[in-house]
Amino acid sequence: MTAVVEAGRREAQQAGRAFPECRILALDLCQAADLARLEATLAAEKPALGWVVNAAGFGKFGNWEAVGPDWAGRMIDLNVKALVRVTEMCLPYMAAGSRIVEIASTAAFCPLPGMNVYAASKSFVLFYGRALRRELAAAGRKVGLTVLCPGPVRTDFWAIGNETYTLKQLGRIDAFWMTTAENVVRHTLRAARRNKAVVTYGFWNGWHRRLANCLPWSWLMALSRKLI
Ligand SMILES: NC(=O)c1ccc[n+]([C@@H]2O[C@H](COP(=O)([O-])OP(=O)(O)OC[C@H]3O[C@@H](n4cnc5c(N)ncnc54)[C@H](OP(=O)(O)O)[C@@H]3O)[C@@H](O)[C@H]2O)c1
């Protein structure tokens, strides 16, 4: 994280742009004590938060027996419980014009055997984000909320969750589907500034979303088993 911030600072300096002040907190968001530490830091420093991006998340793939209760619980703790908690603790420090980006996944669009808890956790993020956006608008808060639903992106995500994927399967996903984090981030920031409710990146992921809205989920579940 420090390296990313330093790279951003250097890039801003070279381009003659201002770089925002940064404070890095190393937290395990599955731990109640670390969540409490974040909440206490916010309460003590009362920062004006321009952007809140809930990116922490992981997916452990495989059927229910292969994933097991410990990994399933951690996915729910991080992808669901921590995301809600962080969003709610940041909201008091967000003024009109500030923005929240909740990171879900294209896995949110329909139930997915082989990644049942991960897909369900991301459906939660999609539904939670859309409903909270309405609540904020109804309360006149003028805080934007965009749910990002990325398809496969080349990051460490695949190193954690994909022991169940063979190299051949990953190669197939990579060739057809994967993109870079830079592409997704650029596209998402533009969409969030325009206050879009939900954003996907890429041709296939756009189709995935459209098809999930009109085809029976039983067909999509069968198709996804063939593809991945
Ligand atoms: N990559 C994809 O293909 C893809 C597709 C759809 C959705 N997504 C979603 O995109 C989001 C970002 O993932 P990514 O692709 O950037 O994967 P990544 O490179 O593995 O990044 C995951 C981030 O989550 C953090 N994290 C993991 N466990 C944590 C914990 N207990 N407490 C605090 N932070 C924790 C990691 O921090 P450390 O580095 O310190 O461990 C890391 O910064 C995730 O929500 C993921 O579900 C990814």
Q: What is the CATH number of domain 50-227?
A: 3.40.50.720
Q: Which atom of ligand 1 is nearest to the CA of 122?
A: 47
Measured between alpha carbons, how far is residue 32 from residues 36, 37, 79, 97, 189 in Å? 6, 9, 14, 30, 30
pTM: predicted TM-score of the whole model, two decimal places: 0.93
Taking residue 46's Cβ as centre, other Cβ atoms within 10 Å add up to 9
139 CA distance to ligand 1 centroid (A)? 31
**What is the pLDDT at residue 223?**
84
Dihedral-angle region of residue 180 (phi above 0 means left; psi in -120 to 50 means alpha; beta otherwise): beta
Q: Which atom of ligand 1 is nearest to the CA of 159?
A: 20
Average pLDDT across each block of 10 residues of the chain; the chain has 228 residues. List them in order: 83 88 92 98 96 96 92 97 98 98 97 94 98 98 97 86 57 74 96 97 92 93 78
**Which residue carries 């993020």 as its tokens?**
125
Q: Which atom of ligand 1 is nearest to the CA of 74?
A: 31
| Contact call for residues 198 and 149 (beta carbons, < 8 A) | yes
179 beta partners: 153
Task: Ligand 1: list residues with CB < 6 Å.
Answer: 27-30, 55-59, 78, 103, 105, 150, 152-153, 155-157, 160
**Which residue carries 């495989």 as its tokens?**
62
Structural domain spans, the chain:
50-227
Q: Which atom of ligand 1 is nearest to the CA of 31?
A: 31
How distant is the alpha carbon of residue 127 from its chain centre?
Answer: 13
**What is the pLDDT at residue 159?**
78
**What is the pLDDT at residue 87?**
98
The answer for residues whose C-beta is within 8 angstroms of residue 115's C-beta and 6 or more apart is: 59, 61, 62, 107
d(CA 71, CA 6): 33
**What is the pLDDT at residue 19?**
86
140 CA distance to ligand 1 centroid (A)? 32
55 CA distance to ligand 1 centroid (A)? 6
Q: Which atom of ligand 1 is nearest to the CA of 29?
A: 32
How distant is the alpha carbon of residue 217 from its chain centre?
Answer: 23
d(CA 7, CA 228): 35
44 CA distance to ligand 1 centroid (A)? 27
| Contact call for residues 101 and 51 (beta carbons, < 8 A) | yes
Ligand 1: which of 156, 198, 201 to mutate, judged by most atoms within 8 Å of the beta carbon?
156
Dihedral-angle region of residue 114 (phi above 0 means left; psi in -120 to 50 means alpha; beta otherwise): left
Task: Single out the residue of 102, 120, 109 nearest to residue 61, CA to CA.
Answer: 120
